[in-house]
Chain A
Amino acid sequence: MRLIIREKPDEASSYVADYIAHRIKEFKPTRERPFVLGLPTGGSPISVYQLLVEKYKAGEISFENVVTFNMDEYVGIPRDHPQSYHTFMWRHFFSHVNIPPTNVHILNGNAPDLAAECDAYEAAIVAAGGIDLFLAGIGSDGHIAFNEPGSSLASRTRVKTLAYDTVLDNARFFDDDIAQVPRLALTVGVQTILDAREVVAIVVGARKAVALRECLESSVNHMWTLSALQLHRHATIVADEDATLELRVRTVKYFRDIEKVARAQGFEQLLSTRLRTVSDVTRNPARTYPQPAAAVVVDEVQSPATSPTLVHPQPVNASLLRAASPAADDQSARSVSPDFVPDRMASRIPEPELARRLTPNPEQQLFIRTNAVGA
C-alpha cells in the first residue's frame, strides 16, 4: 500500500485527479477497450470530480471511452431525488463531461428484485473486463462504499442495512427527519473493490483520522472495512495532513520518505507498465473471469450435517485475492503461493515467523516493523 500525504485537502484532490487523468490518458482507451472506472459519492470526492471536469473542459482528457461503475445507491428513494446518488453523480460529474449514457452504471435502488439487480451488477463489471481503477472515499468509521463496520471482507454487491449512526448522520440531508432517511442501500462488496486492478482512496479531514489509523496501522479487520486494502496489490491512500493526525509520526515520515525516494528514482508508478497500457491481447474478452458466486461463502447456508469448521480452509490471501480476480492480473510480478491443506492450526503459522518472534532481538524487531508498515 502507498500513502500519499499532501498538506491541504485540495492538494490531495488534485493529486487524485491528476493521477486518474494520467491513467486514462496512458491507457489510451478505445470503444472496444474502454477504461473502467469505479466511482464513489460523498464529500471528499466532490473536488476530485470538479478537477476532472476542469480537465475535460480544458481538453486534457475525454470520457468518451470510459466506463463507470458507481459504488452504491439508496433503496427506495426516487432516482431523481436530490439526495440520490444518481443525482449526485449527475450534478457533480456526468452532466459536465462527454461520457456516453450507455457507459454509466449505477445500482438501481428501485429495482423490483434487488438481489437480481446486485447479481446483474457484478456480471456487468465482469462483462466490462473488470474495474481498472476504483476510486474510493472513506467514512469516519472506516467504511468503504456502504460496507459498514462488520461487513464481510469477502462481500459482493448486495442489499445492506444502514447503521443507525449513518441514518442519524444522513438525516441532515432529509430535512432533519429520520423517518425520511432510507434504511437500506445497495452497495458493491469489499471483495468487489478488491477485485479492481487498482484502488485509490481519498481521505481528508481530521474527522477521518482515527479511521485512517485503524485502516493503515492496525490489522485487517471487518470493523474498519477499508483496512482490507492492505490485502490489495495496488492500493493507494491519498490523505491530507489533518487525516494523518492519529498516525504515528514514524508512519507519516516513512511514507513521505518513500514517495520522495521513489520520485527521485523515477519510480512513482505502482502498476506495472503492462497493466497501465495493457494491450488488446491481454484484455481480450475471451479472458473471462468466473462468476464469483462461490466466493460469497458468508451467505451460504451450511447443511446441518456439515461441521462448522472449514474442511478446506484457504489461506486468507488466496481467498481475498483469488487468482481469477482481475486484481491478480499482475501475477508475473509476484510468486504464487502453492495451495496446501493444513490439518491443524499450528501448521498454518509459518515457521520462520514464529522463530523470529520468539527471538528477543530488539534490533531485528525494529527492522521487521519498519518493513511491515511499508509492505
Chain B
Amino acid sequence: MPAAVPPTRPRTGITRFTNCRLVKGDSLVEEDLWVSSQSGKIVSSQAAFFDDLALPDESIDLGGRIISPGLIDVQLNGAFGFNFSTLLEDTAQYGKKFLEVKKGLVATGVTSFLPTLTSQTSGLYQKVLPYLGPSRGIRRFEDGSESLGAHVEGPFLNPAKNGIHSKDVLLEAQTFEDIEACYGKANLGARESNNSPMTMVTVAPERGQMSKLIPELRKRGIICSIGHSAATYEEALVAIEAGATMITHLFNAMRPLHHRNPGIFGVLGAAENLQRPYFGVIADGIHLHPTTVNIAFNTFREGFILVTDAMHMMGLPDGAYQWTNGDATSNIVKVGPTLLLEGTDTIAGSSISLIECVNNFLKWSGTTIPAALKTVTATPAAMLGCQETKGSLNAGADADLVIFSEQLKGGTTELVIDEVWKFGNRAYCRGPVKPPHGTK
C-alpha cells in the first residue's frame, strides 16, 4: 500500500486491522476493526472518521486471519505455579504473585478471567478476596489479563460431591450471617452496590437454607452457580427460580443424568418455562467424554461455556505438587495433562489452557470456529452481564482481542494464537513484531 506519511497529522492512538475476519455472532465477517489505545476500546470507525476526523496511526494487514474477542475463563484456580487459594506469610507478596499470573495468562489468549478459590477456611477468604476483585477503573494493558472478580467455589457445598475439596471445611448456611461470617461482611459488599470482589459463588442449593439465601446474594450483584451438589431436578429448579443462573462444571461433582431423576442436568431441558442457566464444561478430554460435551452443547448452545478449571500446575512439568486443601496440605500428581489427588484416582482439576479446550471442542463437535469461540467470549460475557464491554467486537466494547491463524492438524482445523491485544495495545505476539507498514 502507498505509504505516504503526511508530516502534520496528529496521532490518534487508533490502530486499524484490515484484511481480517471478525468473529461476530455465529459468523466470520470480513470487515476492518479500529481500536484505540487511548480509550482502550473498539472504535466505531465511521463515527471516528466523520465526527473526530480521525485516521488510524497504523494499519495492520492480517492477511485474512481471524480476530476474536479476548477469551474469558470463568473458572481458573491458578497458573504458572501460583495457586490463588494460597495464604502467604507476607500478604503483600500475594498481590505481586497474582500480577505475575495475570501477565503470563494474557499470552494464552485469556484477557479476562474469574480467579477461582476452592473450599477454604474463613481466614483465607477474608485475607485473599480483596486482591482478587475486579480492577474496575484501572485499565493498564501492561498488567496483562484482567480479573473480573473472584469465583468462590465453596465452602457451602455438599460433602457427598466434594470432589477434591476437603470435607472438613465445607459449611452449611442457615442464615445470611453464616455466609457473612465465612467470607467476611466487607467482601460481600452492600446491597445494590455491586462493589463486592466476589463476582460468582458456587453453592449446593440443597444444603442448609441456601436456596432461600440466593436472592440475598443476587442483590449484591453476586452470580450464583449450582455445583458440587447432590441436588435433585426439583431442588435445582427451586435454585433457578431463586436466581441461580449458572451450573459449575456440568456433569462433574453432581448426580449423573438418570432417566427417572434427571438431576441438575435436567434444568437444561427447558422445563417449567424457566430461564435455562448457563453452564461450564471442561473440555480437557479427561473430565468428560467428547460425546458428553456434544450432548451438553446441543442441549442448550446459548448457555454453553468452556472453562479450564485449571490448577496452578498449568504450564509446569510432571511431578507431585503441594496443594493447600482447606486446613490441610496434600499433593497433586501431574502426569501429562492429568491431575490426580495423590493416593487416589480423584481428578484434581485440569492443567489445560482455554484455547486447547476450544481446539478440542472444535475437533469433537465439528462446529464452526465462531460458534466455538462464542463459548469462551460472548456467552461467558452474557453470563457475567458484561456483554457490552467484553466478549464482543462491537464499537464501545473493550479492545481485548486475540488474533488467530488456522492450522490443519489431523484433518481438523486448530486455532493458533498469533497475537493478543489488551485495551487496544499489543500484549503478546508469537513471532517478532513486524514493523508497521503503510502507516496511514
Chain A residues with CB under 8 Å of chain B are: 56-57, 59, 62, 64, 79-80, 86-87, 90, 94-96, 98, 100-102, 104, 106
Contact = CB atoms under 8 A, between A and B. Distances in A.
A101 B45 contact: no
B46 A87 contact: yes
Contacts of A106: 50
B87 interface: no
Interface of B: 1-2, 4, 6, 9, 32, 44-47, 49-50, 53-55, 440
B6 A80 contact: no
A281 B57 CA distance: 35
Given A57-B1, A59-B1, A62-B2, A98 B50 contact: no
A98 B47 contact: no
Contact of B6 (A59, A64, A104): A64
Contacts of B6: 64, 100
A100 B32 contact: no
A100 B12 CA distance: 13
A90 B34 CA distance: 13
Contacts of A64: 2, 4, 6
Given A62-B2, A64-B4, A95-B32, A101 B46 contact: no
B2 A80 contact: no
Nearest to A59: B2
Contacts, number: 43
A98 B53 contact: no
Contacts of B46: 80, 86-87, 90, 95
Given A80-B44, A101-B54, A94 B49 contact: yes
A95 B45 contact: yes
Given A59-B2, A62-B2, A64-B6, A98 B440 contact: yes
A230 to B, nearest CB: 36
Contacts of B47: 80
A101 B2 contact: no
A101 B48 CA distance: 9
A100 B46 CA distance: 13
B50 A101 contact: yes
Contacts of A98: 2, 4, 440
The 3 closest A-B pairs by CB, nearest first: A101-B53, A90-B46, A101-B49
A62 B438 CA distance: 13
B50 A79 contact: yes
A98 B4 CA distance: 9
Contacts of A96: 32
Contacts of B45: 90, 95
A133 B7 CA distance: 28
A98 B18 CA distance: 13
A90 B45 CA distance: 9
Contacts of A86: 46, 50
Nearest to B6: A64
Given A86-B46, A87-B46, A94-B49, A101 B1 contact: no
24 contacts: A59-B1, A59-B2, A62-B4, A64-B2, A80-B44, A80-B46, A80-B47, A90-B46, A90-B49, A90-B50, A94-B49, A95-B45, A95-B46, A95-B49, A96-B32, A98-B2, A98-B440, A100-B6, A100-B9, A101-B55, A102-B53, A104-B49, A104-B50, A106-B50
Contacts of A80: 44, 46-47
Nearest to A97: B440
Contacts of A101: 49-50, 53-55
Given A64-B2, A95-B45, 4 more contacts: A57-B1, A86-B46, A96-B32, A101-B50
Nearest to A94: B49
Contacts of B50: 79, 86, 90, 101, 104, 106
A86 B47 CA distance: 10
Contacts of B44: 80
B353 to A, nearest CB: 35
A89 B50 CA distance: 11
Nearest to A90: B46
Nearest to B19: A57
B8 to A, nearest CB: 10
Contacts of A90: 45-46, 49-50
Contacts of A100: 6, 9, 53, 55
A62 B4 CA distance: 9
Nearest to B9: A100
